[in-house]
A and B are shown apart, each in its own frame.
Chain A
Amino acid sequence: MSNLKYRLGLIVALVLVSAWALFPRDVKTRQRDSNGIWRDTVTRRVPLRKGLDLSGGMHLALEVDESKGVIANKAEAIDRALKVVRTRIEGMGVSETVIQKAGNDRIIVDIPGIDDRERAIRIAQDQAFLQFQITDKTQAFEKVLPRLDAIAKQVGFGASAKAGDTATASGAGLNGLLTAGGDTSKSVAVGAKKDSAKTDSAKKDTASLPGASGGVVSKMILAGQMPGEFLFDRNNEDALKKFMATPEVVAALPPGKVVRFGSDSSLIQNKTYRYLYLLDAREILNGESLTDAKPNAATMEGTVVEFTLSNEGGRKFQRETSKHVKDFMAIVLDNVVMGRPPVINGAIGTRGQITMGQGRDLQAAQDLSLVLKAGALPVPLKVAEVRNIGPSLGEDSINNAFRAGAIAIALVVVIMIAYYRFSGMLAVGGLALYVLYTLATLAGFDAVLTLPGLAGFVLSIGIAVDANVLIFERIREELDRGKTIRTAIDEGFRHAIPAIVDSNVSTILTAAVLYQYGTGPVKGFAVTLIAGIVASMLTSIFVVKTFYLLWLNRSRGAQTLSI
C-alpha cells in the first residue's frame, strides 16, 4: 500500500513538473514599434519553440568566403564573426532569433517572421569595414592611363563598351555641366555641426584627362572635380569594374594606391555618370574606433548616418586630418566610396557623418548604423543557404499536422480500447501522460518543433503503445496458464520488460549516435526520438502498472480482468 502511495506520488509529481514546464509563461522580447523605437514587449506563450517551417521566417547559413584569398585561422575567425553577426541580428529587433555556430565554419541564423529577405541577408553578410582614406593628389592615375589603354587593347576590353559616346560628351561643355551636376549628387560632409570640414562642392574645374592617349580607357574616364576623382558612363560600369579587377590592371596601378568605385551618381546632360576614385592605400582611420552610429535625416544631405569615435580614435583622427588640410577624404565602406569625398578644412574630432546617397531611405541608414555599431566582420562571409518560408505556409503546415495528429490519436485510442477494453483504457491514460511528458521534456531541452518533428511525434504515439501491447499480451498468456489476476499482472510485466528495455535501449543508442553525428534537423529528430522513448518506457512500465495496482486495490477479489 505504501508502495502504491509512492508510485502515485511520483506520477503526480511528474505531472506537476511537466505541467509547470509547459505552462504558458511571460517571455520578454525586444521589438521595434512602428515609429522605430525599441520596446520590451511581454508575450505569454507555451514555452515550445516553433521551427521556421511552422512559424514562417528565414534561415540563413553563412560561410567564410575564401574566394578572395584563403583565411588562415578559420575557426577563430568564425567565432569572432559569430559575435558580430549576433549583435547585428539581435539589433534588428525580431524576437526569438537563433544565431549559432554549426560545424566549424558555418554560422546559422534563424529569424522568425521576417519578410524582407534581402535586407536580412545584407545585415548579416555586409562586412561593414569602414575606412577613411585620402584621395590621390599626385595624378598617379593619369600617369598610368596609357598603360591601361595598352592592356585594354591586349585583352580586347572596350570593344563593346560605349567609349565613343562618352568621349563626345567631354570637353568644355561637360565642365560647366558638372558644376551643376555636383548639386544633384549629394556629397559627403564629414564633421557635422562642431567640426570644420565642409564639402567643397564642385568648385574645382574639371577637365578631360591630360595626357589622354586616345585609348579606350582614357576615352571612357573623365576627370572629376577633385584630385583622384573620375567619372564614367553608368552603362560602362559592369565592364569597367571587371576590367579594373583583372590581374594585369591591378599590377599596372601605381604602388601605394587603390582604385575604389563610388556609391553616388550624377545626372549630366541626361546621362548618368558614376564615380571612380584613386585613393592612398594607407587608411588614416578605420571603423574599429567607432563607438556609436545612428541614422538621421539631414536637410542638405538627405539620409545620413552620424557616428561617434572613441577618444583614442578621435585623437588619431584629429592628428591625421590636421596633416591633410585641403585634401579630400573618402569614406570607404566595404571598398565602396560612400557619397563624394569632402574636403578637410581643419582637424576633425570625434564626430562625423556618412551620406547614404540618393534613393536610400531611413531604413537603409538604420541598417548601416546597426552594422557599423556591431563592428566589422573579421572575415568576409558568403551565404551558403537561404530558406524562406511564408507565414501562411507555416500556418497551413501546423493545421495539417494537428489534424493528422488528432486523427492518429483517435485511431490509436479506438484500436486499444476496442481490443483491450478496460486495460486499453488504462493504456490510453498512460498515453495521455506520455504526450504530456514528451512535450515537457522537449520544452525542457528547449527543442524546436519542426514539421518533421511533429510528424515523428505523431508516429511515436503509434509506436508508444507497443510496450503496452507487449505487456498486455504477456498478461493474457499468463491468464491462459490459469494464474490469478494479481500474479498474471506481475508476471506479465516482469516478462515483457526485457524485450521492452532491449528494443528501446538499442533505439536510444541509434538516436544518440544520430545526435552526435547528425546535423540540424536530424539532430532535432534524435532529441524528439529519445524523449519519446524514455517517456514511453516510463508510462507503459511504471504508470500503467500503477493503474493496475490501484485497480487491484479497489476491487479486491476481482475474478476477471478486462484485457
Chain B
Amino acid sequence: MLRILHGTNYDFIKPWRIAVGITAVFIVGGLAFLGIHGINKSIEFTGGTLMQVQFQQPPNVGDIRATVDGAGYAGSEIQQFGSPRDFTIRAAGHAQGGLVNNVEVASREIEAALHKKFGATEPKVVRTEIVGARVGDELSRNAMIAIVISLFVTLLYLAFRFEWRFGVAAVLATAHDLFSTLAFLAIMRLEVSLTVVAALLTVIGYSLNDTIIIFDRVRENLKKARPEPLYVVLNRSINETLPRSILTHVTVAAATLSLLLFAGEVIRPFSWIMLFGIVTGTFSSIYIAGPILLWIERKWPRQRGEKSAARPTTPAAPTRPASAPPVAARTR
C-alpha cells in the first residue's frame, strides 16, 4: 500500500499567527497594488473594441502600433497573444455611444488600415469583440450579487448541517480566498473576464469543499466519548485528512497544469487562478478556518449538552440508530 503522510501528528494550528501574518501582507499588498493600478478589466466589462489578428509572418509590433495610431485610434493596447504571429488590438471609445449604427466602425477602420499597410489578406482578423459600456456594468453587478448571496446561502446550510460556528468559520475562510485570489490577480496583472469570474467561483467552491471535509472530521471527532479541547480535535482532524488533501490537490493540480500548459491562450488566466486557488484553498482551510473556529469557540463557548454539533447527520442516520454507541468507541 502506497502511503503519503500517513499517521502524522503535526501541530498545524500552532504557527497560525505567522500564517495569518503572511496572508495579511499578501492580501494588503495585492489590494494596494489593485488600488494603484486598478483592475485590469476585460473588454466585457469596460466596453470597447477588441480584435485578434493573425499574421503569416511575425510582424514588427511598432508597425502595427503606427498603423492603428494612424487610423485614429491612438492609445490602443496592442499585445502579443500566444504566438509571435498573433496579436490583440484593443481600442477604447467609439463603441460606447454616439451614432447608433456605428458600434463597429472602429473595428472596420482598424482592419482597413491594417490591410492597407500589410496587404489585402494580411493580417487575418480571427476574432472581433465589440461591447457597449452598459453591458459590462450589469455583468459585474450580477456577478457581485451572485457571490454575496451564494456565501450567505452556504452560511445558512452549514449552520443547519453543522452549527453556526462552523458556518461562520467556513464562510470567512472562503471570503479570505476571494480576497487573496483578487490580490493574486492584481499582482499577476491578469485580465478580469467572465471566464476569470467563473474561475473565481470555482475557487470558492473548491476551497469551501476543502474546509468542509476537515470540519466534517472535527464534527465526527467531537462526537467521540472522550471530551478533548477543540484545539486538539482540530489538529487531529487536519492530520487525519492530510492524505486525502494531498491526493486530491495533486489530481486537481494535474488537471489545472495541463490546462495551463496545453489549453491555449484564452484559458490561461482561468488556469492561473485555479492553480493559485488550490494553494489558497488548502491554506485557508487550515490556517484561517481553524483559528477562526477556535476564536469563536473561545468567545462563545459551546454549552454542555448543546447538541447541534453532535446531531447525527441525516444520510448516516438510518444506518446508525441514535441509541447505538459511537462507532469509534466500539472499535477500541
Contacts and interface: CB of A to CB of B under 8 A. Distances in A.
A481 B328 CA distance: 10
A168 interface: no
At the interface, is chain B mostly helix, strand, loop or mixed? helix
Interface of A: 53, 61, 63, 65, 67, 103, 117-118, 121, 125, 380, 382-390, 392-393, 396-397, 400-401, 403-405, 407-408, 411-412, 415-416, 418-419, 421, 451-452, 455-456, 458-459, 461-463, 465-466, 469-470, 473, 476-477, 481, 483, 491, 494-495, 497-499, 501-507, 509-514, 516-522, 525, 529, 563
Interface stretch (B20-28, B184-192, B199-207): B199-207
A469 B270 contact: no
B138 A103 contact: yes
B264 A401 contact: yes
A396 B81 CA distance: 14
Interface stretch (B66-74, B226-234, B247-255): B247-255
Interface string B265-277: 0110011001000
Contacts of B11: none
Given A386-B128, A470-B244, A491-B327, A459 B205 contact: no
A510 B204 contact: yes
Contacts, number: 251
Given A397-B264, A401-B264, A522-B143, A459 B100 contact: no
A477 B239 CA distance: 13
Given A451-B267, A491-B327, A387 B128 contact: yes
A498 B216 contact: yes
Nearest to B219: A498
A502 B316 CA distance: 12
A518 B143 contact: yes
A499 B212 contact: yes
Interface of A is mostly: helix
B177 interface: no
B209 A452 contact: no
A522 B194 contact: yes
B270 to A, nearest CB: 6
A519 B154 CA distance: 21
A118 B104 contact: yes
B252 A463 contact: yes
A380 B101 CA distance: 11
Interface of B: 1-4, 52, 100-101, 103-104, 108, 124-132, 134-135, 138-139, 142-143, 145-146, 149-150, 153-154, 157-158, 161-162, 194-195, 197-198, 201-202, 204-206, 208-209, 212-213, 216-217, 219-220, 240-241, 243-244, 247-248, 250-256, 258-259, 261-264, 266-267, 270-271, 274, 313, 315-316, 319-320, 327, 331
B187 to A, nearest CB: 22
A400 B259 CA distance: 9
Contacts of B3: 476
Nearest to B146: A517
B150 A384 contact: no
Contacts of A529: 202, 205
A494 B319 contact: yes
A404 B146 contact: no
A119 to B, nearest CB: 12
A517 B149 contact: yes
Contact of A513 (B146, B162, B264): B146
A538 B313 CA distance: 19
A499 B313 CA distance: 10
B271 to A, nearest CB: 7
22 contacts: A103-B138, A384-B132, A386-B130, A393-B126, A396-B264, A411-B251, A412-B254, A419-B2, A452-B198, A455-B270, A459-B255, A459-B274, A463-B248, A466-B248, A495-B220, A498-B219, A499-B213, A502-B216, A503-B213, A510-B204, A513-B146, A521-B195
